[in-house]
Amino acid sequence: MTTVVLAGATGFLGRHLTRAFTADGVAVRTIGRTSGDARWGEDLRHVLDGSDALVNLAGRSVSCRYTKRTADEIFTSRTETTKALGVALAGCASPPPVWLNASTGTIYRDARDRPQDEGSGELGTGFSVAVARAWEHELGSAPVPVRKVALRTAIALGSDGGALNPLINLARMGFGGTQGDGGQLVSWVHVDDVYGAVRHLMARDDVAGPVNLAAPHPVTNTELMAAVRRHLGRRFGVPLPTWALELGARVIRTETELVLKSRWVHPAVLLRTGYTFRHPTVDGALAAIAAETRRGLLPVQLG
* CATH at residue 60: 3.40.50.720
Contact 175, 237 (CB under 8 A): yes
The sign of the CA dihedral 228, 231, 233, 235 is positive
Q: Is residue 203 part of a domain?
A: yes
Whether 299 maps to a domain, the answer reads no
Q: Over range 246-264, report the average pLDDT.
A: 91
pLDDT at 303: 61
pLDDT of residue 34: 77
Is 16 part of any domain?
Answer: yes
**Total tally of structural domains belonging to the chain:** 1
Other C-beta atoms within 10 Å of 272: how many?
12
Look at residue 181 and tell me if it is in a domain: yes
Per-residue pLDDT of 151-205, as tens digits, reads 999 999 999 889 999 999 999 999 999 999 999 999 999 999 999 999 999 999 9
In a domain, 302, yes or no: no
- Which range of residues forms the domain containing residue 225? 3-290
C-alpha–C-alpha distance, residues 91 and 143, integer Å = 10
In the chain, where do the E strands start and end?
3-7, 27-32, 38-39, 53-56, 98-104, 147-153, 155-157, 185-186, 188-190, 209-213, 219-220
For residue 35, tell me if it sits in a domain.
yes
Q: Residue 94 falls within a domain, yes or no?
A: yes
| Bridge-based pairing state of the strands 147-153 and 209-213 | parallel
Q: Does 301 fall in a domain?
A: no
Q: How confident is the model at residue 33 (pLDDT cuts 50, 70, 90)?
A: confident
State the number of CA atoms in the 13 A half-sphere of 160 facing the CB: 10
Dist CA 115 CA 64 (whole Å)? 27
Q: How far apart are CA 211 and CA 117, in angstroms?
A: 9
